[in-house]
Amino acid sequence: MADKRASSRLIESFLEMIAAERGGAKNTIEAYARDLADYAARLGASGKTPLEATSDDIRAFLTWLDKRGLTAASSGRKLSSIRQLHRFLVGEGLRRDDPAAIIEGPRRGRGLPKTLSIAEVDHLIAVSKEGLDDGARPAGERLRALRTASLIELLYATGLRVSELVSLPKSIARGREPLIPIRGKGGRDRLAPISSAARAAISAYRALLEKTQPGAAAGPWLFPADSESGHLTRQAFARDLKSCAAAAGIASARISPHVLRHAFASHLLQNGADLRVVQELLGHADISTTQIYTHVLDERLKSMVRDLHPLADDED
């Protein structure tokens, strides 16, 4: 029991640091807590806490996860949590050594991100705008369609995370600047581009919202929720996006808000954007996260060599 309490106190201190110093989101902190609770429980079965854990203990934990059928991705995430906990313990002077430092993560193939072609996104946007000017449509139905069209235009123009998108303040609608301020993960601020088409879609949506639902329009959110206070949920947007995609002939399994974020990044790189610029626009803290898109750069380089090199064989 004492070991369990000691482990809980160590983990609690680590989570407090994540929240205070790194601005960790609630979901992030909860994920760390789950991962480390599993780790502490396995250590506790041997009468140990993270202060006494060895590299062999961590390897045994990973083996246990593998036997339970966890994917390499899930095991890798838990190992990442363990590494950060042990770095914290060393940094706080609670341990002199880091048993996780020499542990290799489970090998896994990194799949390419799902995305859509430029033509598919163009078609999706066109379908989302169909019938928006039809005055015969019920106001509620037209408002929802305008909202979906605005969200799609805005997401593809900015590459925002869906949580950032649905929680935008209504002050965005009043601005005329080509860039909008975004508060991202870990409290990091960045600027995101917004196209004239996205601004026009937002203006049309907000005009109808203020006319038909002035109470909702008076709130602080650009996209207020349908039936309760607060902003539109990620789940509600994902549902409306899939409905719009179905009308555009795009399979449900191929579309999500995250897929449109991937499309934003992939299409920028296809058209010559620098990887570091895309990293900044996506709000990635580390370039390694953005490097999932290097396949796009590889294809672009192959095309450049094929099209521009004087010795390239046209038939190849």
**For this structure, is 306 an active site residue?**
no
Residue with tokens 């946007």: 125
Catalytic-labelled residue, pool 39, 156, 205, 293: 293
Of the listed 48, 234, 258, 300, which one is catalytic?
A: 258
Concerning whether 123 is annotated as a catalytic residue, the answer is: no
Could you please report the per-residue DSSP string of the chain? Answer: -HHHHHHHHHHHHHHHHHHHHS---HHHHHHHHHHHHHHHHHHHHTT--TTT--HHHHHHHHHHHHHTT--HHHHHHHHHHHHHHHHHHHHTTS-SS-TTTTPPPPP---PPPP---HHHHHHHHHHHTTTTT-TTS-HHHHHHHHHHHHHHHHHHHH---HHHHHT-BTHHHH---SEEEEE-GGG-EEEEE--HHHHHHHHHHHHHHHHH-HHHHTSSBSSB-SSSSSBPPHHHHHHHHHHHHHHTT--GGG--HHHHHHHHHHHHHHTT--HHHHHHHHT-SSHHHHGGGHHHHHHHHHHHHHHH-TT--TT-
> Which is catalytic among the residues 86, 142, 161, 199?
161
Concerning whether 161 is annotated as a catalytic residue, the answer is yes
Question: What whole-number distance in Å separates Cα of residue 2 and Cα of residue 8?
Answer: 10
Catalytic residue, candidates 78, 95, 142, 284: 284
* Among 22, 48, 185, 234, the one annotated catalytic: 185
137 catalytically annotated: no
Selecting among 78, 206, 261, 262, the annotated active-site residue is 261
Catalytic residues: 161, 185, 258, 261, 284, 293
